[in-house]
Amino acid sequence: MGPEFEQEIEEEIEEEHRPRLKELLDRYMAGDSHEHTVFSNPESRHEADYTFEQVFNYVKKEMNEGENHMEFVVFAEHPSDAGNPELVDGLALLEHQKQIHEFSTQQELGPKLISGVETSIISADGQVDVPGEVLSQMDFVIASKHDLRKVFPESGGNPSAEQLTAMYLGLMDNLNIDVIGHPNRYVAEDVLKSMDWDGLIAQAKESHTALEINVNAPMPDWLIQKVVEGGAPIFIGTDAHTLQEYQRLPNEAQIETVDNRLDHPLGLKISFWKKMSKILRSLESAGANPEQVVTSSYARLNNWLIQEKDQRLNVWENES
């Protein structure tokens, strides 16, 4: 990590910048979304170290004080190994969700918990690794591409822009899928730019399927601008795999000193905050209405999720 990079972030978190970043955080992201727990750990792959109870207690104790308040946590567990996804019955997901619901009813204070799944794409037409009868019972469903070598073996897992466009359109037709996860991730820039984003965004808007801006793999500015202008629902996901990734605004009293993924001499997860602040400013520059960002409040996210996908309303259209 070079000195210029460190200087940029240290300037970003100086006191004079904090009020504006806090304002943008409150405007577009009221909680943490797309989080993983030990449930996501298959035998062959390590994903997370903590249970959902530990996440809840961590957020309640360490985050929900003053400016770091979080209204919700959305879990999105892997049902099979994301590095080698395969069709599963998904029944363990329903048991996991039952445990989260039972735990939540016993809590008087703290973030609201939403139980979900990050289902992996396993076919070129948008089939995923959990049956529809299970997905239809989940609070939240995000569908993401991970290792596509089995899906597109002829290209070694590197589909064309046309193939990716068709795959995402297939996902949007699935009434069980709420969000397309990190749609720009694992895609070369030239392929990404060649995709039919006008068509995809129009279909996302029509089908009420949100497009995720993933903090671990942020959308480029040009794509954020397209999504905002096109009116598709937006979902911001931190894709956290460690408690340290739940850090909100840099706060010296609450900065974690241990981070097993990205370190900074001061203890701050510096790369994460750089990505988050850039996303917030990109949304602001694009003129995003908070109503378009479904993670901008718990009430908005909850109301959006409890409606049938084909009956959701793009309420921000009347306010832009």
Q: Is residue 42 part of a domain?
A: yes
Q: Are 213 and 224 in contact (CB under 8 A)?
A: yes
Q: Indicate if the pLDDT at residue 76 is higher than 60.
A: yes
DSSP code for 274: H
Domain membership flag for residue 114:
yes
**How far apart (Å, rounded) are the C-alpha atoms in residues 317 and 314?**
6
Q: What's the CA gap between 77 and 64, in Å, rounded?
A: 23
Reported as a pLDDT band with limits 50, 70 and 90, residue 319 is low
CB-side exposure of 215: number of CA atoms within 13 Å? 27
Residue whose pair of structure tokens reads 């989940």 in the numeric block = 138
Q: Collect all residues with Cβ–Cβ distance below 8 Å to 252 and sequence separation of at least 6.
A: none
pLDDT, position 6: 45
Looking at residues 213-222, what average pLDDT do you find?
91
In a domain, 172, yes or no: yes
Share of the chain above pLDDT 90, in %: 57
Residue 15 lies in a domain: no
Instruction: Give the residue, 76 or 320, on which the prediction is more confident.
Output: 76
**Segment (H or E) for 34:** strand 32-35
Q: Are 197 and 161 in contact (CB under 8 A)?
A: no
Domain that holds residue 63: 31-307
Q: Give the whole-angstrom CA distance, residue 278 versus residue 134.
A: 36
Q: Is 4 contained in some domain?
A: no
- Mean pLDDT, range 88-97, rounded to an integer: 96
Q: Do the domain assignments include residue 312?
A: no
Average pLDDT for 73-101: 94
- Helix, strand, coil percent content, the chain, rounded in steps of 5: 45, 10, 45
Q: Is residue 5 part of a domain?
A: no
How confident is the model at residue 270, as a pLDDT? 52
Q: What is the mean pLDDT of residues 7-36?
A: 71
Spatial neighbors of 293 by CB under 8 A, at least 6 apart, are 28, 29, 234, 235, 236, 283
Report how far residue 212's alpha carbon sits from residue 179's, in angstroms, rounded to the nearest whole number. 7
* Domain CATH number, residue 68: 3.20.20.140
Q: What is the mean pLDDT of residues 170-198?
A: 95
Chain centroid to Cα 250, Å, comes to 20
Domain count, the chain: 1
Give the whole-number percent of the chain exceeding pLDDT 70. 80
Asked if the structure places residue 320 within a domain, the reply is no
The answer, yes or no, to whether residue 11 has pLDDT greater than 90, is no
Q: Which two tokens stand for residue 79?
A: 């049902």
Residue 45: count of CB within 10 angstroms of its CB: 13
123-181 residue pLDDT tens: 999 999 999 999 999 999 999 999 899 999 999 999 999 999 999 999 999 999 999 99
Angle between helices 197-207 and 221-230 (to 10 degrees): 40
Q: How many CB atoms lie within 10 A of CB 1?
A: 12
3-state class of 122 per DSSP?
A: coil
Q: Tell me, rounded to whole angstroms, the distance of Cα 29 from its chain centroid.
A: 11
The mean-pLDDT minimum among 58-67, 129-138, 221-230 falls in: 58-67
Q: What is the pLDDT of residue 89?
A: 96
Give residue 5's pLDDT.
43
Asked if 177 contacts 171 with a C-beta cutoff of 8 angstroms, the reply is yes
- Structure confidence at residue 261 (pLDDT): 32
Name the E strands within 109-259.
112-114, 116-120, 140-144, 179-180, 210-214, 234-237
For residues 120 and 144, the answer to whether their CB atoms sit within 8 Å is yes
pLDDT tens column, 240-282: 776 555 444 444 434 333 333 333 332 334 566 777 888 999 9
pLDDT score for 264: 30
